[in-house]
Amino acid sequence: MGKITVETCEIEGLKVITPTVFKDERGYFMETYQYEDFKAAGIEQVFVQDNQSASVKGVLRGLHFQINYPQDKLVRVLQGEVFDVAVDIRPGSSTYGKWFGVRLSAENKKQFFIPKNFAHGFLVLSDYAEFAYKCTDFYHPNDEGGIIWNDPDIGIEWPLLSGMELIQSEKDTKWGGIKEFSEKYRK
């Protein structure tokens, strides 16, 4: 190992990964993913799909999850900065309904590993951000679920900047809270 540093979080399973960056007069080089290093850190998942999105300041995507085909995700920012959040929705978890957030940026090069059965979302803090992530299952459009971003029962402390206008998809404004999720999916 040695090419990555892995920090565990207060919610079991979540991990913040910082790669070793090799800099010189030309710029920098880093390995963003190397199976053996990640396996040594306890992340043995096989990723089958890579996704990338671009967003402007104030875009809030999420909180999303797949219902019947849950995905582990490894997320990072290629350009700009986001506040990335995972909410524990694992049945029987002692931290069910708890959240953890981390700033991911092109500058800090951190990555965030989010296991299956977490709702995930992010808020763009920079003028523009490119966001990339690996998934362990394919996207199934009819399997989407979500929880409203500002559910008071979860209490995410989003770093809303002064004067920031949120930009969301219509569906992201209509999700229910964690109580509705629990009633619908965790009977």
Amino acid identity of residue 130, one-letter, is E
Q: Which among 133, 139, 140, 185 is annotated as catalytic?
A: 133
**Considering 28, 33, 35, 64, which one is annotated as catalytic?**
64
pLDDT of residue 176: 96
d(CA 133, CA 47): 10
Q: State how many domains the chain has.
A: 1
* pLDDT at 133 (0 to 100): 96
Q: Which residues constitute the domain of residue 91? A: 46-185
In this predicted structure, the answer to whether residue 35 has a pLDDT above a threshold of 60 is yes
When pLDDT is cut at 50, 70 and 90, the band that residue 1 belongs to is: very low
CATH number at residue 180: 2.60.120.10
Q: Give domain status of residue 142, yes or no.
A: yes
Residue 20, domain member (yes or no): no
Averaged pLDDT, 16-42:
93
| Model pLDDT, residue 3 | 86
Question: Where does the chain have alpha helices with state H?
Answer: 35-40, 178-185
β-bridge partners, 124: 82
Q: Is 64 labeled as catalytic in the residue annotation?
A: yes
**Mean of pLDDT values over 27-45:** 93
Q: What is the dihedral of CA 51, 53, 58, 60, to 10 degrees?
A: -30
Residue of 108, 52, 51 whose CA lies nearest to 80: 108
Q: pTM for the full model?
A: 0.94
Residue 28 among the catalytic residues: no
